[in-house]
Amino acid sequence: MKKLFNRPIRIPAKQRILTKTLFHLFAVGYLVWLFYAGINDQLGGDPVEALLNATGIMAINLLLFTLALSPLAQRLPCGVLITYRRMSGIYVFVYALMHFLTYIGFELGFDFSLIGSELLKRPYIMVGFTALIILLLLTITSVNKVRRKMGRKWQTLHNFVYLALGLAILHYTWALKTGWQSPVFYWIGAILLVLSRQRILRLLKINS
């Protein structure tokens, strides 16, 4: 993979702390604003649908961003970008979880007896729920202590993040009942990320 710069890019510790702080403020602030606006009827005629769309799309956007960090760190080169991956990945799960809770809270009224029937009746919900479970497992095992205990199994498990991405975009595409418009761009982005990962793996094998 050809690097964009001959020398590695260094990001000072203070700048890393600042950028991570801004990222936290944005991720949390946007989520708080969404629900505040929804509760106060500032999201249009169907605030529940607006909340579902916003949280779901943000989860996919953050997942694409998280997966893009590795090839970006290789290409720039700027290895410190990898340190942002866990933080961003956790927010992927947070937004996906809020997307799910919005559905079962506002659409089903937290009637958990309906969840099973909804999963069977609406396959696209099953697809999204499967992606959420994968993200849950990845978030739980993102702790360094757990990672050390899992050893090589950790990487095997975390490779499922690409399956979660595919399922999330499929869930989005299925919910819209169209593969065009915005879903097609997400599919293109996902394919490019998978291809870039395969290229990185080949280079690592050659260098080893």
User: How many CB atoms sit inside 10 A of residue 142's CB?
Assistant: 17
Residue type, position 48, single letter: V
User: Do residues 85 and 66 make contact, with C-beta atoms less than 8 angstroms apart?
Assistant: yes
DSSP string, 69-117: HHHHHHHTT-GGGGGGHHHHHHHHHHHHHHHHHHIIIIISTT-HHHHHH
User: Do residues 163 and 133 make contact, with C-beta atoms less than 8 angstroms apart?
Assistant: no
What tens-digit pLDDT sequence spans the chain (208 residues)?
A: 566 666 777 888 899 999 999 999 999 999 999 999 998 989 988 999 999 999 999 999 999 999 999 888 888 878 888 889 999 999 999 999 999 999 999 988 888 888 888 888 889 999 999 999 999 999 999 998 999 999 989 989 999 999 999 999 999 999 987 657 788 999 999 999 988 876 655 544 444 3
pTM comes to: 0.90
Q: Which of 16, 47, 19 is nearest to 33 (CA)?
A: 47
What's the rounded Cα separation, in Å, for the pair 162 and 154? 14
- Who's near 141: CB < 8 A, 6+ residues apart? 147, 150, 154, 157, 158
Q: Which of 35, 56, 59, 57 is nearest to 47 (CA)?
A: 35
User: Do residues 33 and 39 make contact, with C-beta atoms less than 8 angstroms apart?
Assistant: no
